[in-house]
Structures are given as C-alpha cells and as structure tokens.
Chain A
Amino acid sequence: MRSTLAADQPFTEEDLREMVLRLAHEIRNPLATIKSAAQLLEHLQKPEGEIAEFYSSIHTEIDRIDMVVRDMHRYARLDIDTAKSVDVGESVRTAVEAEFSENGEDGDRVEIIEGPATLVLMDQAQLESALCELLSNGIRFSPPVGRIRVFWQHHDRAMVQIHVDDSGPGISYEVEQNMLRPFFSTSTQGTGLGLNIVARTAQLSGGSLRWQNLEGGGARFTITVPRM
C-alpha cells in the first residue's frame, strides 16, 4: 500500500530540480576521472602531432560537457531563496570586473554609465551571474574593438532597468524566435542555457528580460526588476 501511494505522488518541480542537481553531480565525477586520466597520460608521454590533437579534443569536449552541466546546475539552483538587499551599481561593477579584467578582455571596450543609487531584493551572485552572461554575449557578438555599454535607470514608479548594449549585428527574426529555447545557441562557445538563466533570474524577482535592436546597430538586453 505504501509503495502504491508513493508511485501516485505527482512529480513536482522540486523533484525535477533535485533530479537535475543529482544528474549534474553524477556526470561531474566520471568527467573528473576522464580528465585526470587524460592529464596523466599526457604527463607520462608528452604527446605530439596528431596524438596531441586528440588529447586537445578530449579536453575541449570534457570542458564543453562541464559547461553544459554547470549551466544546468545554475538553472536548477535559481529557486533557492537567498535573496537579500543588493546594490545594483556594485553588482554591475563586479560583473564588469569579472568579465573584462579577470577574463583578460580589454577593459577599454566597456563603458559603465552610473545610474541612480538603487537597491533590489535578489540573490547577489545570481544577479551578477546574469549580468556576466549578458556581458559575455555582448563581447562574443561584437567585433574585436566593438564597445559594450552598461547602464541602469529607474523605470515606472517601482522598477529599475539594467541595460547591456553591444555593437554586434543585432538580433535576427529567426534568432529572436528561438533565443529562449533551451540549448539553442548561435555560437559554438555557448551552451544555449545562458539567456534562459538570465530570464528566470529576473522573473523570480518579479521582473523580466527584454531585448531590442538599436538604431545605428547592435542590440540591447534589459533586465527589469522591482526596486526596494
């Protein structure tokens, strides 16, 4: 009787989230073993030529699987209630520092236009991660010397909009129709989950993610969330 009752329990979103977290853990351990084995083999006999290319492919594909698992993990963790009062300007500056200075990108490419002092009720790490995702996309889709602009402004009576403008080709109709489909990506570097994570991060705080093409070129992505 007890097992029949358990089998009748509805499969909840919490169950799905737990399953994704467990799946990420179960994939990462074997990946770690494969990567360690490959590194050991390389250390035992330094590969050259074609064999070196094969090892490089092993590492590239491991890193790619790891990136997908990491993003699945990030998505599954979004509902964990760790919101607190967060300064928007501080989060913007932290995200820009992470994407430009720490990743070796040219800091002159980014311009932060300081907006009004603004507090929001969000998980700070998730907000900064969302901003990093938009900045990373901006870098990826802009030409090598193209500029990225980040600014925020109050909107309506109770919201703040955080904008990330790039100098890329803009968003085509086809891309726009598929942008929030999980694992859809126009780049070999992306997992196709990044914008989903940004949108969900904003939605969980009572906000939204919007985008538009800019007159004169480029695209603007806007996170809108309630102010405190």
Chain B
Amino acid sequence: MRRVLVVDDTETFRRFLERALEMLGYEVSGVDSRLEVVAAVERFEPDVVVLDWHLDGQSSKDLLEDLQARNTPVVVITGDPDAAQSARVPVLGKPLRIETLRAQLEEACDRL
C-alpha cells in the first residue's frame, strides 16, 4: 500500500483529503505545520508528499527543496497555481478533483 503524507494548514480540507485518499487505498498521514514536515517524513517514510504551496503564511519553496534533496516525490496543491510556477513538480489548483490528484500521485510514485 502506497504511503501519502498530506501537508496542509487548513484542517477541514486536510481531513477530507486524508479520508478521500484512504478510501482510494492509500496509507495516509497528515501534518498542518511546516515545523512538523521533516519529522513526519522521517517517521512515516511516505512514497509521495502532497504539499500545500502556502503554509503558515509562507511559500513552501524551501520545504519542497528539502523534500527533493531527500528524493521524496512531491505533488503541490495550491489555491494560487501561478505562484507555484517555479515549483518544477506537478502543481494542482484547488479545488481539486480527487481523481486528478490520484493520477498525479501514481505518476509521481512510478517515476521513483
């Protein structure tokens, strides 16, 4: 079973997303703060991270670079796709279609 770590600081959205991914057959964990991401990655060892581009009022660019340095596949989700143009990973705009997210997660995992 593939593991997905969801990183989003909007609690209600993150809970729905986690539940949707569980129903699609993923093992899921979630964090809502940039401070918890690295520890969660080391503990949970996800196959892919779903990363909100704006966390705690800041861009997640530095977090993305950290995850890429660890060879962890990332799919970015954001309410502002233009702001995430520099991401160089798949970027999905909110509101999401869950099936679109699933396709990107599978592609990210298969690229490993």
Q: Name the residue in B13, B19, B96 with the highest tally of chain A Cβ atoms < 10 Å from its Cβ.
A: B13
From A32, A33, A66, A73, name the one whose CB has the most chain B CB atoms within 10 angstroms. A32
Please name all residues of chain A whose beta carbon is closer than 8 Å to the beta carbon of B17 when the two chains form the complex: 36
Contact present for B23 and A43 (CB under 8 Å): yes
Q: Which of A25, A28, A33, A66 contacts B12 (CB 8 A)?
A: A33
Partner of B95, one of A25, A36, A43, A44: A36
Neighbour of A36 across the interface among B82, B93, B96, CB < 8 A = B96
CA distance A45 to B74 in the complex (A): 30
Interface string of A173-205 (1 = CB under 8 A from B): 000000000000000000000000000000000
- B106 part of interface (Cβ distance < 8 Å): no
Which residues of B lie under 8 Å from residue A24 when comparing CB positions?
A: 79-80
Q: Tell me, yes or no, whether A62 is within 8 Å of chain B by CB.
A: yes
Question: Is the pair B79, A25 in contact by a Cβ cutoff of 8 Å?
Answer: yes
Contact B20 A43 (CB under 8 A): yes
**CB contact list, A17-33 vs B, under 8 A:** 21, 24-25, 28-29, 31-33
Most buried by B among A34, A37, A39: A39
Chain B residues numbered 83-109 whose CB sits less than 8 Å from any CB in chain A: 93-98
Contact residue among B19, B95, B98 (Cβ-Cβ distance under 8 Å from A28): B95
Q: A35 at the A/B interface (Cβ < 8 Å)?
A: yes
Residue of A nearest to B24 (CB): A43
Could you mark each residue 16-50 of chain B with 1 if its beta carbon is under 8 Å from any beta carbon of chain A, else 0? 11011001000000000000000000000000000
How many Å from the CB of B13 to the closest CB on chain A? 4
* Number of B positions contacting A (CB below 8 A): 18
* B97 cross-chain contacts in A, Cβ below 8 A: 35, 39
- The one of A33, A40, A62, A66 in contact with B23, judged by C-beta atoms closer than 8 angstroms, is A40
CA distance A63 to B54 in the complex (A): 22
Establish whether residues A25 and B23, one from each chain, have CB atoms under 8 Å apart when the complex forms: no
Separation of A77 and B80 alpha carbons in the complex (Å): 11
User: In the complex the two chains form, what is the Cα distance from A36 to B19 in whole Å?
Assistant: 10
With A and B bound together, what is the CA distance between A32 and B98 in angstroms? 11
Residues of B within 8 A of A21 (CB): 80
Given contacts A33-B10, A33-B13, contact A28 B94 (CB under 8 A): yes
In Å, the complex CA distance between A33 and B93 comes to 13
Using CB atoms and an 8 Å cutoff, list the residues of chain A in contact with chain B: 21, 24-25, 28-29, 31-37, 39-40, 43-44, 62, 66, 70, 73, 77
17 A–B contacts from the bound complex (CB under 8 Å) = A21-B80, A28-B93, A29-B10, A29-B13, A31-B95, A32-B96, A33-B13, A35-B95, A36-B20, A36-B95, A37-B16, A39-B20, A39-B97, A39-B98, A43-B23, A66-B95, A70-B93
**For the complex of A and B, 7 pairs with smallest distance between CB atoms:** A28-B79, A32-B94, A35-B95, A36-B16, A32-B95, A33-B13, A31-B95
